[in-house]
Amino acid sequence: MATSSLILGPMIGGLSHNSANVWARADGPSTLYVWVGTQAEGKGAKLAGSVELHDHDGFAGVVALKKLSAETEYYFAVTLLRSRPKRGDFHRFKTFPKPGQAASFSFMFGSCYLPPNEHGGQTLDVLRQQVKDDDLRFGLMLGDQIYADDAKGNGIGHIAVSLKDYRGAYQYVWSRPAFRDLQADLPLFMTLDDHEVEDDWSWRDENRKWAGIPWFNKVLRWLKSIPPEQRHLSPERVKAALKTYVEHQVIHAPKLLLPPKTNSLGELTLGKDDGNFAYTFEAGKAAFFVLDTRSMRVINGKKRVLLGEKQWGFLQDWLLKTKDKYPVKFLVSSGTILHPFWLDVTRDRWNGFPVERERLLEFLAVHEIEGVHILCGDLHTAHAVSAELNCPSGKHLPIHEFCATPFEQKSMFVSNTYHPLFSKWIGKQKKLLHQTGQNFGIVNVDFEKDGTPLVTFTLHYNKNGWKTQPPVITG
């Protein structure tokens, strides 16, 4: 008899053409059983696997499903007892087309989820309807999947400072009915932005021994008489936050390119450039590189590091490897690359790391990488930007950036002060749309009869009711 209960999930992560990870979290020691079948409502579903849920992982775990068939519908359910789930407990997902296959598909992306009420807001309900209407295969959540530093919205009543606090924040935010229902019905890929740990945080040294938040945040909290441990970011706090990030957002992801190191107790050790949370995946003729723009970030005076050399190495290798094989490439970054703006005071985005931004644009232009689409969030307003890479050969290659944010957060109007990026590697920059209000983006990857890819970005936004922006189509 199971005495523990499921408190989060289930959800599908790390989906591919032949595999998927089923993730869930319980409130105590237990065994997670996963049931899978190919008929609606789980008719004939079989026990596909199980995993023990332990205290040291916050009772979160995954069961890996392997040897699945490509482009096939599956139905799954989870239990903590080895007894068949009810029909109504099954959820559907569909595996990807095989890598390299020219098959059309659609997915969602967006970021920033601060539940405005007990239900968890309206956006994810609208999005869930879109899963059916647009046959969405998966979603990309690009950061701020919790606001651990928001005492009003994190469910624990104060700024998270301990492992227990961070786990408590996930437990509250991800159990909002709107979030939990969407999570069960849409396979998800995730990456972190700042609020999984702290507002605008970074390391102070490359050895990742000291961390901090901006001085003005500290002063504001001091003026509000917030206790010292909630005003300072100790390395222990960062480790606790990143451990819960692993438990909730990483363990179901595709295999990391260079996983962060851990000690014998499973705690992150976080040394100098010895591991990060970046990963890649493919769906048909589209390849995705999901960047980690947070856990390697160092800001100390003039020293500014964003990705770390090892992540740069993986990114450059990936761009060269996918150059000809995958005509559509998605570079997934929590923060914007192609949308700098005059009132960006905190410079918390690629704008604050001009050397690395230039390095990226130069690499893309010199190696003539075609079909690059940047997906980003963070800004609390949505946008689309088109531009051309100026290649040394004289070629001009289109590049695009799509941004969708927030799911649930206040709009941030300063990003309306966009200016084109000053770089010799890029030209003909054009802001195609800019939108306030809660929103999410739908991307459709399609192919013309001659095999030419078409990528369409449709922004769904709430401004006195839900509407869509005219689609942005790239060739």
Q: Summarize as ranges the residues that interact with Fe ion (CB under 5 A).
A: 112, 144
The owner of tokens 């008719």 is 43
CB of 399 closer than 8 Å to CB of 372: yes
- 112 or 443: whose CB is closer to Fe ion? 112
Closest CB 376 distance from Fe ion, rounded Å: 11
Task: Report the alpha-carbon distance of residue 152 to residue 157 in Å, rounded.
Answer: 6
Pull the structure tokens for residue 385.
């930007």
Do 34 and 68 touch, CB atoms closer than 8 A? no
Smallest distance from Fe ion to CB 405, Å: 7
Q: Nearest-CA neighbor of 235 among 209, 268, 196?
A: 209
**Which residue, 62 or 112, has its beta carbon nearer to Fe ion?**
112
CB of 378 to Fe ion, least distance (A): 6
Kindly report the three-state secondary structure assignment for every residue of 290-301: ECCCCCCCEEEC
Asked whether the bond before 406 is cis by omega within 30 degrees of 0, the reply is yes
Nearest-approach distance from CB 337 to Fe ion, in angstroms: 17
3-state secondary structure of 99: coil
Q: How far is the CB of 406 from Fe ion (least distance, A)?
A: 6
131 membership: H or E segment, kind and range: helix 123-133
Contact 441, 380 (CB under 8 A): no
Alpha-carbon radius of gyration of the chain: 21
Among 155, 143, 338, 374, residue whose Cα is nearest residue 245: 143
We find the least distance from the C-beta atom of residue 45 to Fe ion, in angstroms, to be 38
Q: Which residue is nearest to Fe ion (CB)?
A: 112
Residue closer to Fe ion, measured from CB, 260 or 335: 335
Least distance CB 146 / Fe ion (angstroms): 10
Which one, 327 or 406, has the nearer CB to Fe ion? 406
Q: Which helix (H) or strand (E) holds 167?
A: helix 163-173
Nearer to Fe ion by Cβ, of 276 and 405: the residue is 405
Nearest CB to Fe ion, comparing residues 112 and 372: 112
Burial label for 156, CB within 10 Å (0-12, 13-18, 19+), is buried
Nearer to Fe ion, 144 or 198 (CB): 144
3-state class of 123 per DSSP? Answer: helix
Closest to Fe ion by CB, 137 or 339:
339
Whose Cβ is closer to Fe ion: residue 144's or residue 348's? 144
Residue 302 CB neighbours (<10 A): 5
Sign of dihedral through CA atoms 348, 144, 225, 167? negative
Contact 204, 300 (CB under 8 A): yes
Closest listed residue to residue 104, CA positions, set 402, 470, 452:
452
CB of 112 to Fe ion, least distance (A): 3
* Minimum gap (Å) between residue 120 Cβ and Fe ion: 16
Residue 107 token pair: 């997915």
